[in-house]
Amino acid sequence: MRILLVEDDTALAEGIAKALRAEHFAVDVAANGEDGAHLGDTGGYDAAVLDLGLPIKSGITVLEEWRAAGRVLPVLILTARDGWSEKVAGFRAGADDYLTKPFRVEELVMRLRALVRRATGNAAARIVCGRVAFDSQTGQVELDGLPLRLTALEWRVLSALMLRKGVVVERLYLLDHVYEGDSDPDSNSLEVIIGRLRKKIGAEAIETVRGRGYRMVEG
């Protein structure tokens, strides 16, 4: 999962990004509304965390522009403004969720996971495909009922496939949603990750759809 964080408080942004990366998220950070709006228009993100009080362009303006352009990116507003009118303005602009500072990072993580799960059409938190089970609320992956150890990149690829089990996930989509914006992956890096996953969960679990991408199958 790849997250766009638009927050002008440098220390807070670094703390949130560090916590999200510890949970295997890929995170790109923008420090003002203009840069955040541009990244949201051009990057492949599963969700955005958007502060309201941003320099250059406000969070509300950024969100309104995304929605006017047809961007369906799930957005969680993060702000120190706790008045009801601010929340109403945020939701009217197109926000999907709202979290007031100060907050617990654990709650932010769970809210983001819930947003991504709902955006992919999954009602239940636990998703099972053959021998693999993925708890989209905790991030836990199991194989035959036992916890499965994965690297961050392996987790991002597998979670993307599990959230869309039975559906072909385009190769370009996976590349966009696995790596952070400043990464420069090798041309075959995705195939390497898929290969490692097949060794861990069984080659039959991930089907290659030639010329398109990959699909989780029951096996």
Quick one: the chain helix, strand, coil %, rounded to 5?
45, 20, 35
User: pLDDT, tens digit, for every residue of 49-103?
Assistant: 999 989 999 999 999 999 999 999 999 998 876 677 788 888 999 999 999 888 9
Average pLDDT over residues 109-115: 95
* Euclidean distance between CA atoms 126 and 95, whole angstroms: 25
Domains of the chain: 2-119 (3.40.50.2300), 126-216 (1.10.10.10)
Tokens of 148: 């499965």
Which of 143, 196, 152, 144 is closest to 178 using CA atoms?
A: 152
Give the whole-number percent of the chain exceeding pLDDT 70.
95
Cα-to-chain-centroid distance, residue 190: 18
* Euclidean distance between CA atoms 131 and 144, whole angstroms: 5
- pTM of the predicted protein model: 0.89
To the nearest whole number, what is the mean pLDDT of the chain? Answer: 92
Residue 177: what pLDDT? 86
Q: Is the pLDDT of residue 135 over 70?
A: yes
